Structure 1
Amino acid sequence: MKKNILISALIISFVFIGCAKRNDSLKGFKNTNQSPMAIQYTKKRDLIYNGSLKVMIFGTYLNKISKKYETDKLDSFVVGIHIKNQENHDLVKNRFRVTLNNDKPKTMVKVSNDSDIVEIIPLKNQWADYYLIHFDNKKDVTELNLRIIHPVYGSVSLNFQK
């Protein structure tokens, strides 16, 4: 008798587990045709200061994942920044500098979190501010070192291959 109750309980458990809501732990990732390349050309780094996380930085090299930015004239990136415990994540107002192989950006424009360019990147933070950043393309350079520098928290490097 106990065996039958145990078997019945197991069968009912399996039925309910099979009907459970799916896990949404990966909902930040979207399944698009560009995802494999976008994941390869997206990096995340943290700025740690005095043992505490201060800033999360996300960067995606656009030349390899979007036909719109596939050019020999510019190296294009979308960079997201989230400063912990702060409402203002503005790069300039918070004294951040961005360089590519020690060169300053040609242009840097803040973009909306729901813009097309932010939509194609696979790793997003809904509280971050995003910037479309262009640098002059140096044809002889194959390794790209995107650095985000803060005068107090230090710097991080996001390295990409052309």
Structure 2
Amino acid sequence: MVRSCLSFIAIALLLGCTSKQESDLIQGYSKKVTYHKQLQKTEKIQLYQDNVTKVMLTATYLYTPDFEDHDTRDEVFIVGLHSEGQAEGALNSEGNSLTLNGKRPKEIKALSPEDERLKTLSFVTPWSRYYLVTFPHESSKKITLLFESTSYGKGALHFAKVAKYVLTKEAL
């Protein structure tokens, strides 16, 4: 009798712990899986002058694993740039450079603020300019995007074609 009462109470407690809110949370996450995956492939740097942010650069790596032995697709990023006090402030303007593992981009295309690709990104600000930047294929699993400004210095963004915790010391 005591065991059956305890079993009934335990089952009631377990059923009471699952709620509609939990399933709503899972459904909400499922709807935004793309958003969260993009967030994992987004990095940000800030360049300072006198402890004031002068340049903020965000980059989202648009790589999706292909699992082919000879994947030769170009490396594509959406790069957002906000530059304080510079009228030109463009990614490809004089004094700014962007390289991927030391290689210059094949193409830099400015995106309009209404571009559909920006709607899926996790970090978009109205004061930044956005660009679709294409680099030649990089065989390395770890890649470094380096932004250099003659006025404010340089900053590096680190990306990986596999999960970063999978990389070994040799790949780093």
Same fold (TM over 0.5): yes
For residues 25-78 of structure 1, the C-alpha deviation after alignment (integer angstroms, 9 at most, x for no partner) is xxxxxx63301210100011101123221011110001139xxxxx73200000
% identical equivalent positions: 26
| Offset at residue 94 of structure 1 (A) | 4.9
Q: List runs of 5+ in structure 1 lacking aligned partners.
A: 1-30, 66-70
State the alpha-carbon separation in 2 of the partners of residues 105 and 111 from structure 1. 16
Alignment of 1:1-162 (within 5 A): 32-64=32-64, 72-86=72-86, 88-139=88-139, 141-162=140-161
Give secondary structure in 1 for the equivalent of 2:38: helix
State the alpha-carbon separation in 1 of the partners of residues 115 and 32 from structure 2. 16
Report the CA distance shift for 1:89/1:119 in structure 2 as closer, same or farther (over 3 A).
Answer: farther
Instruction: Answer whether contact 2:38 2:60 (CA < 8 A) is retained.
Output: yes
Q: List runs of 5+ in structure 2 lacking aligned partners.
A: 1-30, 66-70, 162-172
State the alpha-carbon separation in 1 of the partners of residues 94 and 114 from structure 2. 23
Give secondary structure in 1 for the equivalent of 2:133: strand
Look at both structures and tell me which one has the larger radius of gyration over its CA atoms.
2
Structure with the larger helix share = 2
| Offset at residue 86 of structure 1 (A) | 4.7
State the alpha-carbon separation in 1 of the partners of residues 137 and 93 from structure 2. 27
Q: Which amino acid is 2:154 matched to? A: S
- TM-score, normalised by the number of residues in structure 2: 0.67
State the alpha-carbon separation in 2 of the partners of residues 61 and 35 from structure 1. 13
Give secondary structure in 1 for the equivalent of 2:146: strand
For residues 109-154 of structure 1, the C-alpha deviation after alignment (integer angstroms, 9 at most, x for no partner) is 1111220221211001111101100111122x01010011101200
RMSD between aligned alpha carbons? 1.9
State the alpha-carbon separation in 1 of the partners of residues 89 and 119 from structure 2. 19
| Offset at residue 87 of structure 1 (A) | 5.2
State the alpha-carbon separation in 2 of the partners of residues 88 and 32 from structure 1. 35
Q: Which amino acid is 1:33 matched to? A: V
State the alpha-carbon separation in 2 of the partners of residues 42 and 147 from structure 1. 14
State the alpha-carbon separation in 2 of the partners of residues 64 and 50 from structure 1. 39
Give secondary structure in 1 for the equivalent of 2:33: coil
Q: Which amino acid is 1:114 matched to? A: E
For residues 88-118 of structure 1, the C-alpha deviation after alignment (integer angstroms, 9 at most, x for no partner) is 4312235210000011011111111220221
- TM-score, normalised by the number of residues in structure 1: 0.71
